[in-house]
Amino acid sequence: HFISSLLRGNSYDGPQRLEVLARAYAVRWCVAYHNKAVVDRVVRDIDALARGKGNRNEANISWRLYGPVGRAVALLYPQLKPILNKTIRGPHGKKMLRRRAWARLLTKTIVYEETHQRYYTNQAMIVNTNIYTANQGLELLNPRKAMPEKKARWYLYEAIGLVPFRGNRLSNGRWQWPFGHHYRLVTRKGLSRELGYVASYGETIINLLWEMDVETDHDPKINQQFMKMLAARSYFMAPGVDRNGYRAMRLEGVVGWRHNLYPEEVCYGARTVGGHALECADLFGRRDRAAVGWAQQCLADNQFFASVMPMLSSTAHFDIHALLLIPGQYSRVERMAPAHIVLPMTPGQPDFAWADPQDGVVAIKHDHTRLYASLYYRAYDGINKLARVHYTTPTIDRLVRCYEHVRFTPSGKYYVRPDDIDQLQFHGWPPPGNAIHEAYAGQKLPIPKLPHGYVVTRGHYGPFAHGHYGPYLGRASFYRLRYGHFLIGMNTGRHKSYPLRLPKGADSVRNLATGKTVPRGASLRVGPRQTLMLYVRARSPAGK
């Protein structure tokens, strides 16, 4: 119904709607299937964009620009090819070949996005995917202006951590390398590498990875990284209930650095929000039985269609795109043999202890107890010695901020907390009324010695520099966190080892990752990039 009304309407729609129409053209059950009106509408609207119409109202213009136009051209190229050499009016009424006018949109996109990079993983994935799709269209419209496929694909590899992050292209043609030549946007364990663990906002990476996989015709490198990142995020989905009280797996949000939602959204490997919970199973099939099992778990818990229902009245381009795919995905997943695999935190599954020292986060399942902890918690500007813990048993659910011991090499520099209220990354967002002051204003947070190659630069949301937002500014080399029976030693460094001191009165100590008992009186050390997670029973519960 929405696509029919879109084709009948006279409004000019942005690039993302055009991409949705181009995708709908190949969906057999849809009114857009091989419908000439789709091609006519796409041509009309790209012509309008080429004349400069609609630029000011374009949603997310700085993230995507005309990347979706490139994808629409690639999807409909056989139908568009006969009219590309016709003359149209471009900017300022200048006559030019349609092929050339459209190519200018895509060239503009690539140049702009190369010089306006984002520093957080999912945002970089959006920007670089649109560089890639713009180049796809440009390769068809004006091959001499397009990048070679290998070079274009490098942007995708960069956004998902397969190669180091270069940052912006500078005016001299060189790259920025804002965090040194070895910084990658995905951790070695497969999580988004930002200022800590990312919850719901970071979950968008799974759908973005799916798009990359499809757009590159299942590039093996992207495919492998996709499965790794999907597996890493699976540890952060835990049992709960939906808004109606029915069983559901929910994403861990308490220890997230960007958001602090409780409870978080329903999630089964991929998001149920947006109808994405089946797409990974449909894509990987036999190659990743876990992805199949998680999709089947979502269906068994009756959570998939509960997420689809609100989408039926939506006009958002991402919902329409998902709805075009869901019937086929559901049909194929429904016919798959049972995988007999569920998410790791599901009741009855084996215990585990998993950690990612680059994001400073741990996930532990021990008997009927779950513990999530962020040791590198919201330390945007300097080391704050604070951990965030989400501790759950069958009778207790605790959301905790607590002190932790840290070790680091000091730089001699400090971040001084300003007298800002709320939205500190934007220098405060004080509420109206009487002046309210920050209780911690003036507190000095130490800044560790920064890695070689870290440079003072200006990011999209303000300066990334000493004493401001950015990775490493508040990250310690070693963390020691004690909470209840759990003792965690995390080494985030690359070279040194650190001793992990056991609490006084420790009676029995078990390594949660290996299940082995630690000998009494053992001297424990945590090696570079390692995490030691222990379960300690002490004669003195208050032992530190």
Q: What is the pLDDT of residue 480?
A: 98
With a cut of 70, list the residues of the chain below it in pLDDT: 54-62, 424-428, 455-468, 540-544
Q: Is the dihedral of CA 177, 178, 184, 186 positive or negative?
A: negative
Q: What is the pLDDT of residue 97?
A: 96
Identify whether the C-beta of residue 345 lies closer than 8 Å to the C-beta of residue 239: yes
Written in H, E and C, the secondary structure of 374-404 is: ECCCCCCCCCCCEEEEEEECCCCEEEEEEEC
Q: What is the pLDDT of residue 5?
A: 86
For residue range 334-352, list pLDDT tens digits in order.
999 999 999 999 999 999 9
The amino acid at residue 17 is R
DSSP string, 96-157: EEHHHHHHHHHHHHHHHHHTS--SSHHHHHHHHHHHHHHHHHHHHH-GGGSPPHHHHHHHHH
Residue carrying structure tokens 């790794």 = 228
Cα–Cα distance, 216 to 222 (Å, whole number): 9
Q: Which two tokens stand for residue 220?
A: 């093996």
Q: Is the dihedral of CA 244, 250, 251, 257 positive or negative?
A: positive
Q: What is the pLDDT of residue 459?
A: 47
Q: What is the pLDDT of residue 500?
A: 97
Distance of CA 187 to the CA centre of its chain: 12
What DSSP state is assigned to residue 82?
A: G
Q: What is the pLDDT of residue 258?
A: 85
User: In whole angstroms, how large is the CA radius of gyration of the chain?
Assistant: 25
